[in-house]
Amino acid sequence: MSELSLTTASGDLLRYRQLLLSLTWRDIRIRYKQSALGIGWAILLPLSMMLIFTFVFTRAIDASKVMDVAMPYALYAYLGLVPWTFFSQALGSAVNSLVANRNLVTKVYFPREVFPLACIGSSFVDFCVATSVLVVLIGYYHVRGIYAFTPHATLLFLPIVMLVQVTMMIGIGLILSMANLFYRDVRQLFTVTIQLLMFVSGVVVPLPQDGSLLARVVGLNPIVPVIGAYRDCVIHGRLPEVGGFVYACVFAAFVLLFGWICFRKAAYRFAECI
């Protein structure tokens, strides 16, 4: 059982940290190779989605009637789209990471966890770049007098929110990459599911809080309190709602432990399945 412990796994990854960094950098270079905009796509993708949803929810639908705070909808949407894009793109890459690196998986020994971890690491770079636009948006609306932003001490809580999200993503990424290796349908199923999941994750409009059955079911989605925590810390100037955030923390810890144990137990079969 000690071989399956997180301590042992962490030690293996620490010894192969240079490989992990190299694979992360490789993923970044491949993603933007022969691209005119390069890493600018990290900004353009969530920004373009923000513009689309802003048009839809301010022209076709009056989103202000369901928003829980008086602020520009574009800022509200972007603050949800940035962590969501990080979540969806990183897992979208991680799900195929073992299959895409079949030559390395079958020929060289090292912790196979580095492949999904490298996908998450490269997407985290995009996340940091896209976050810079959030600072610009806040500054723009503040200078224009449309939205008065006041820095709060709760901004210091954001690294903890990011840590919970990344922990959750590592666990899910390990499970998805392993499952896709055994059943190639997983990649297609994930693509469909992640598109639908966006609209029940509070990314672009607030979710119902009326205590209905729908609200309780949607509340089981663990990414909901994470996205809400970003908005609480940045917009509301308060700490995340305790119940929801504790649920996200517990889920993240469980899925990481479960994913890592299952991944390590199945690792010896990876070469024969590829």
d(CA 249, CA 160): 10
What is the share, in percent, of the chain residues with pLDDT greater than 90?
Answer: 38
* Mean pLDDT value across residues 219-244: 92
**Structure token pair of residue 3:** 């071989």
pLDDT in tens, 42-59: 677 777 777 776 766 665
pLDDT at 38 over 80: no
What is the share, in percent, of the chain residues with pLDDT greater than 70?
Answer: 85
d(CA 265, CA 269): 9
> What does pTM read for this prediction?
0.86
Residue type, 236: H
Higher pLDDT among residues 161 and 37, named by residue: 161
DSSP 58: I
Report the alpha-carbon angle 185-92-16, nearest 5: 105
From the list 267, 42, 258, the residue with the least C-alpha distance to 168 is 258
pLDDT in tens, 90-144: 999 999 999 888 888 777 777 889 999 999 999 998 898 888 888 888 888 888 8
**Structure token pair of residue 105:** 């998986």
Whether the CA torsion 161, 114, 220, 201 is positive or negative: it is positive
pLDDT in tens, 195-222: 889 888 888 887 777 777 777 888 889 9
From the list 22, 184, 13, the residue with the least C-alpha distance to 96 is 184
**Structure token pair of residue 33:** 């190779």
d(CA 127, CA 22): 19
Say if residue 77 is exposed, middle or buried (CB neighbours under 10 Å; 0-12, 13-18, 19+). Answer: buried
d(CA 243, CA 119): 30
Higher pLDDT among residues 259 and 146, named by residue: 259
d(CA 258, CA 81): 28
Q: Considering the chain, what is the average pLDDT of its residues? A: 83
Categorize the per-residue pLDDT at 165 as very low, low, confident or very high, splitting at 50, 70 and 90: very high
**Structure token pair of residue 197:** 């999941």
Is residue 168 a contact partner of residue 221, using CB atoms and an 8 Å limit?
no
* Mean pLDDT value across residues 26-40: 72
Higher pLDDT among residues 160 and 31, named by residue: 160
Categorize the per-residue pLDDT at 6 as very low, low, confident or very high, splitting at 50, 70 and 90: low
Residues 6+ apart with CB under 8 A from 38: 32
pLDDT at 65 over 60: no
Chain centroid to CA 188:
19
